[in-house]
Amino acid sequence: MSFWSDKRVVVTGGAGFLGRAVVGQLKAKHCSYITVPRSREYDLRQSLAIKRLLKQTRPDIIIHLAGVVGGIGANRANPGKFFYDNLIMGVQLMEESRLYGVPKFVAIGTICAYPKFTPVPFKEDNFWNGYPEETNAPYGLAKKMLLVQSQAYRQQYGFNSIYLLPVNLYGPGDNFSLEASHVIPALIRKCVEAKQRRDPQIMVWGTGKATREFLYVDDAARGIILAAEKYNSPEPVNLGAGFEISIKDLVGLIVKLTGFKGEVVWDKTKPDGQPRRCLDTSRAQKEFGFKAKTRFEQGLKKTIAWYLKHQES
């Protein structure tokens, strides 16, 4: 019998980009009792809504993916909202879950919580050695408090909460809005639309020198589910693909894969964000056997194909 077949699972943010992948994989594992709370019915910033959710669903496992997220521009425009909404959702959900007696809580952090100048590759042991990159520090610190709460609750109450740190995600079903999207969907949309309009150039933020690591969304979902099944310790765990690419090289690759023939112009008045980002993923492999499977170019091709299909429909 599957580990999941008799489990009652609540996936906050289950209708979002990562959430849909997690829910889909849970269903494939014959999990029959999945609840995806929608914000219009359960505002997770309100403790009464959380109490009602727990009473109605009686979960064995909560996977907390819900968050207010966006790229550098969205973070700079909404630092207060990104801090408050993410902090209050997590803090109250974990507290009410403890009071209710939920057996397992899976908290999803963010790579933005790492210090700005973390040595590469990022090791979990360096998580507290500095302040996050300024443009997304309010969001990163709000999510970072979930680790503090998780460890404190395990120590005082024996509450089984784990904390995972996925790197930047990408894949089919991502958010391609110009206002709130992350770097890969934003670049794909820019290149595709510029090609369709026959624009001579596209504008890209920053210098292109910053580096990033990207994890395909289905790989991230598989890592989260493996951790929910097998990991029960207080230390945070990175989820990544274990490679690093500069934004300049990323842009070149997306330009090639989308067939855009124009010029790339770099707006160096805009910030690069964190200078480098690449994870040490050895703890995830050691603790619960997770390793990313999707090759980056293959994942990009799938993402571009998805966008082209849904842009036209």
- What is the set of active-site residues? 139
Query: Residue type at 152?
Result: A
Residue corresponding to tokens 């429909």: 313
Contacts of 60 (CB under 8 A, 6+ apart): 7, 8, 9, 102, 103, 104
SS3 23: helix
Nearest CA-CA partner of 139 in 112, 174, 166, 163: 112
Between CA 123 and CA 129, with CA 124 as vertex, the angle to 5 degrees is 85
Contacts of 51 (CB under 8 A, 6+ apart): 96, 100
Neighbour-count burial of 272, counting CB atoms closer than 10 A to its CB (0-12 exposed, 13-18 middle, 19+ buried): middle
